[in-house]
């Protein structure tokens, strides 16, 4: 997760203010401060090595009966799970994968500390506007005016193998949702199985061609019952056109 923020920060550090010393300040992204606090709690402050968890396992005899007072301490490695996999089609028609999930770390005492994470596979490049100004000595300097636009970069191209690797980390308690999303329209659809997700084309999944006409109608009727306000708004907009 830190990589996405460090990359973004690098562009801000290159934008020096008119004092010639300080760079343009960056506000933390949503969830960033909480993640950094979690990271401080689950790593050694000097070595940056993650702490391990500890679990006491009861010992049993050959008959399966607990041996009183005897246990074995087992170390648990920090890990992560995936709760959502998103297959994105960008403006240029390329397809990428991002994920959402849970980071599982441990305190110095071995207690479990869980923190959510969101899409470490993408990061934002911030571009800046500039103008030429004169200082008190009449010298011209290039001055930063502030952020101008954002370019989103995706680091994990969609392949069947990459999707299955993420799927292997699915959360045992929460499960893992599969989604496809068109970047241009921001329309998103849920995909019911990893087989469809990895083997079918993006358009096939987005248009839900795997559903029969009856299944599509049932889904639309269910949506109308659960979200009458949204359906009413959609119908009103259609009538105006």
Task: Write out pLDDT tens, residues 117-132.
Answer: 999 999 999 999 998 8
Residues 206 and 220 in one domain: no
- Residue 240, pLDDT > 60, answer no
Question: What integer pLDDT is reported at residue 237 of this predicted model?
Answer: 54
Which DSSP state fits 93? S
Q: pLDDT exceeding 90 applies to what percent of the chain?
A: 68
The size of the chain, in residues, is: 241
Residues 130 and 220 in one domain: no
Cβ–Cβ under 8 Å, residues 54 and 73: yes
Residues 189 and 89 in one domain: yes
Structure tokens at 144: 């930063």
Average the pLDDT over 173-184 and give the result. 95
pLDDT mean across residues, the chain: 91
- Residue 231, pLDDT > 80, answer no
pTM of the predicted protein model? 0.82
Question: What integer pLDDT is reported at residue 234 of this predicted model?
Answer: 53
Question: What integer pLDDT is reported at residue 143 of this predicted model?
Answer: 84
- Residue 6, pLDDT > 80, answer yes
Structure tokens at 181: 């999303």
Cβ–Cβ under 8 Å, residues 97 and 82: no
User: Following DSSP, what letter does each residue of 207-238 receive, concatenated?
Assistant: TTTTS-HHHHHHHHHHHHHH-HHHHHHHHHHH
The span from the CA of 181 to the CA of 203, in Å, is: 10
Residues 164 and 223 in one domain: no
- Residue 152, pLDDT > 90, answer yes
Residues 18 and 118 in one domain: yes
- Residue 15, pLDDT > 60, answer yes
Which DSSP state fits 16? B
The span from the CA of 7 to the CA of 24, in Å, is: 15
Cβ–Cβ under 8 Å, residues 121 and 107: no
Q: What is the largest CA-CA distance in the chain?
A: 91
Average the pLDDT over 16-22 and give the result. 81
Residues 104 and 184 in one domain: yes
Query: Which range of residues forms the domain containing residue 43?
Result: 2-211
Residues 163 and 232 in one domain: no
Residues 134 and 183 in one domain: yes
Question: What integer pLDDT is reported at residue 134 of this predicted model?
Answer: 79
What's the domain count of the chain? 2
Residues 238 and 156 in one domain: no
DSSP-based three-state secondary structure for 161:
helix
Average the pLDDT over 169-196 and give the result. 95
Residues 237 and 155 in one domain: no
Average the pLDDT over 56-71 and give the result. 88
Confidence of residue 232 (pLDDT cuts 50, 70, 90): low
CA-to-CA separations, 109 to 12, 46, 77, 126, 135, in angstroms, rounded: 37, 17, 14, 40, 56
Structure tokens at 191: 């995909």
The span from the CA of 71 to the CA of 226, in Å, is: 52
Question: What integer pLDDT is reported at residue 188 of this predicted model?
Answer: 95
Cβ–Cβ under 8 Å, residues 88 and 154: yes
The span from the CA of 237 to the CA of 232, in Å, is: 9
Residues 220 and 162 in one domain: no
The span from the CA of 78 to the CA of 42, in Å, is: 9
Question: What integer pLDDT is reported at residue 229 of this predicted model?
Answer: 78
Average the pLDDT over 25-31 and give the result. 94
Structure tokens at 129: 């506007």
Residues 180 and 234 in one domain: no
Cβ–Cβ under 8 Å, residues 203 and 93: no
Which DSSP state fits 136? T
Cβ–Cβ under 8 Å, residues 115 and 96: no
């Amino acid at each position: 997760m830190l990589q996405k923020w460090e990359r973004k920060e690098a562009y801000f550090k290159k934008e020096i203010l008119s004092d010639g010393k300080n760079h343009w300040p960056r506000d933390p992204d949503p969830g960033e401060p909480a993640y950094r606090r979690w990271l401080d709690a689950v790593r050694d402050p000097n070595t940056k090595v993650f702490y391990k968890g500890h679990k006491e396992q009861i010992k049993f005899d050959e008959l399966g009966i607990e041996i009183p007072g005897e246990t074995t301490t087992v170390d648990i490695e920090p890990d992560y799970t995936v709760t959502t996999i998103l297959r994105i089609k960008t403006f240029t028609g390329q397809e990428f994968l991002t994920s959402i999930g849970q980071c599982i770390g441990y305190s110095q005492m071995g207690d479990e500390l869980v923190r959510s994470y969101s899409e470490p596979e993408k990061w934002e490049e911030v571009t800046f506007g500039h103008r030429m100004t004169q200082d008190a000595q009449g010298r011209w300097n290039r001055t930063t005016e502030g952020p101008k636009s954002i370019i989103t970069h995706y680091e994990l191209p969609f392949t069947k193998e990459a999707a299955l690797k993420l799927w292997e980390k699915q959360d045992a308690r929460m499960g893992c949702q599969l989604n496809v999303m068109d970047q241009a329209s921001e329309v998103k659809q849920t995909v019911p199985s990893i087989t469809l997700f990895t083997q079918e084309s993006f358009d096939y999944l987005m248009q839900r061609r795997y559903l029969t006409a009856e299944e599509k109608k049932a889904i639309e009727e269910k949506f109308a019952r659960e979200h009458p306000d949204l359906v009413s708004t959609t119908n009103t907009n259609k009538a105006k056109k």
